[in-house]
Structure 1
Amino acid sequence: MKDSSGTFTLEASMLLPWVMMLTFMLLLFALYISQGALVYYSSSVMTERAAFGWSNSSSDPLTGGYPAGEYDGLYWRLTDDALVQSLFGLASGEAGIRVEVYPGMAPGEGGSAEDKLKSAAYAASAKHRVGSGELGYRNFSIKREIDAELVSSWFSVPLARFKGGGPADAKVSALVVEPAEFVRSFDLVRYYAAKLRNAPEGKEKYRSQAGEVLNKRKSALGKGGAGG
């Protein structure tokens, strides 16, 4: 009590572990925040690019450009995009089409909605560290939406023990917008809405009959191997 020698060493030995621990926790927290920003950015870029080039399966997933004269068939929305089927309750439902996203995944090789999602996810995973998760597409006739739910591949166990929770994640969505096609789709909805409302045999029966015609048309196009 009378001698104060060694107090600095004693205080340093008591405080230094806490200072070091708090410093590392701040660094890990900064890394966690940066990973969240990177995952959100990668998810946004992936969905926006997929939505931008959705109308042409030959478009580059990164730039949206496509070779001259390369277009999808006239009826690609009927066979691949399920635009008309959704009008008659034949679409894939609320869940839509979903593909798994992970590092090293293979790109899509066709023009279907699933292949387009795979190509967009492959391009994003090759250029950015998108982590893993799901990329989905939902078609509601007039509204078409692409959404992504991704989780960062980086995870700090000490930070999770300190603050709880898991790795950084992000949920984003983008709308597929085609101005000319939107007008045609809107007119189509108006036309069939009037037909359903004024059908003598009733709305549900007329809807089921139209759905059967579309299914037959889709089967015929699938057997012929042509999109239009």
Structure 2
Amino acid sequence: MTSGPDLRAARRRAIRIGFQKALRFARSESGSYTLESALLYPTLVVALVSLVFASLFIYKHADLYYTAAATAERAAYTWDNTHKEFSTGSVMPNQHDGLYWRTGSDGLGGMFSFGSGFGQKRVEWPAAEGAGEAGGAGPERKLLRAAGGLPDGIEGKLTYRHGLIDREVSVKLGQTGPLPFMAGKWMNARMEAEVRTVVTEPAELIRNVDFVRTFVVRVKDLIGKPQAERTVPAEPPAEHRRLVFARAAEAAEYVRSITGGVQQDVKAPSGRRLLDVLDADGLMHEVKLGYTAKSKDIESQIVKDVEMMRQSTEVKGVVWHFFRKEKDGKVGPSKPLRQYLENQGIIVVIHQ
């Protein structure tokens, strides 16, 4: 038999050996790749699958929008003639709808936006069995014809709106997008696309323009100018007034009457200046009568006008008016004076 001290020593030796083995196992790097792979690979697989399905979802949504756009565009292009080939728009000669299809098969009520649906016709796809028969040759049948080319798995609504001036085809499609595994319980896989297209008729536009041109010419020919003048007498031409004044004060009063300005005494940096006319827009009007030459007095007036135009807050611009004098019939500034005025930025107006 083993004595007590020997048994305790054996136990301590066994514990020490086990601890050393555990310590060596903890320090060992063998098997780390397997452990890391077990933790990382599922995350990478989930991310890769999510990326693939997200790309597929975006592609399906773009394809749905393209399908809606193509359906609406082809329906609008072939709307005026049910004999047109839907995909290409080609048509054989002498194959067309009746002359009055717009007021017949297209619906007179829709033309003026009243009646059932206020000028709107709508069909749903997939359509119920026999739905195309009820529409006859009307908008419902054309819409169902456009919807007939839709791929499987797509549902939606096709609408035709007929207003007084414009007509429009709208296509709203929807389908369920692809989602991985159980993702449909947490995410909405529904995708939709809506496109509107205006119905245009180049041939009808040409006919309408030609009709208007012909109609206007004929109406113009029916009522000639002599007959129109007898029916509505023309107003006599206004008598042209010759602007001739005996005194400068009369000319200044005339300028005040046409501009709505007033006479005003202002203080300029070079001295006081009596303005013949100052209107509400800040334009100063100087009135001269007869022929005017360049002199020191005139230059002094011009210097004050330029100072006010550049420094005063009341005067925004200066205009010099020259009127014909009744006594000698002369009018206007001398050539040096006119050139000097224009160089200083003053507007020159000669009234004949």
* TM-score under structure 1 length normalisation: 0.69
The answer as to 2:179 corresponding to 1:156 is: yes
User: Larger RCO: Structure 1 or Structure 2 (Cα < 8 Å, ≥ 6 residues apart)?
Assistant: 1
Q: Deviations over 1:136-174 (max 9, x none)?
A: 111112111111111135442645456x32232211111
Partner residue of 2:125 out of 101, 112, 117: 101
Counterpart of 1:151, as a letter, is G
Contact 2:110 2:162 in 1 (8 A): no
* Superposed displacement of residue 74, structure 1: 1.6
Contact 2:123 2:143 in 1 (8 A): yes
Contact 2:176 2:189 in 1 (8 A): no
Partner residue of 1:60 out of 85, 104, 117: 85
Which runs of 5 or more structure 2 residues have no equivalent in the other structure? Answer: 1-25, 213-352
SS at match of 1:92: helix
The answer as to 2:92 corresponding to 1:86 is: no
Contact 1:151 1:170 in 2 (8 A): yes
Counterpart of 2:137, as a letter, is G
Cα root mean square deviation, aligned: 3.0
* Superposed displacement of residue 85, structure 1: 4.3
Partner residue of 1:29 out of 54, 59, 69: 54
* Superposed displacement of residue 17, structure 1: 0.9
* TM-score under structure 2 length normalisation: 0.46
* Superposed displacement of residue 73, structure 1: 1.3
Q: Deviations over 1:194-216 (max 9, x none)?
A: xxxxxxxxxxxxxxxxxxxxxxx
Q: 2:189 matched to which residue of 1?
A: 166
Name the structure with the higher strand share.
2
Matches within 5 A, 1:1-228: 1-82=26-107, 85-87=110-112, 89-90=114-115, 92-93=117-118, 96-102=120-126, 108=132, 110-122=136-148, 124-125=149-150, 128=151, 131-156=154-179, 158-161=182-185, 164-181=187-204, 184=208
SS at match of 2:118: coil
Q: Measure the CA separation in 1 of the matches of 2:159 and 2:184.
A: 29
Deviates more, 1:5-14 or 1:40-49: 5-14
Which runs of 5 or more structure 1 residues have no equivalent in the other structure? Answer: 189-228
Deviates more, 1:110-119 or 1:150-159: 150-159
Compared with structure 1, are the counterparts of its residues 159 and 37 closer, same or farther at alpha carbon in structure 2 (3 Å cutoff)?
farther
Counterpart of 1:101, as a letter, is W
Name the structure with the higher helix share.
1
Q: Deviations over 1:170-195 (max 9, x none)?
A: 1111110124535849x99xxxxxxx
Identity across the alignment (%): 30
Counterpart of 1:115, as a letter, is R
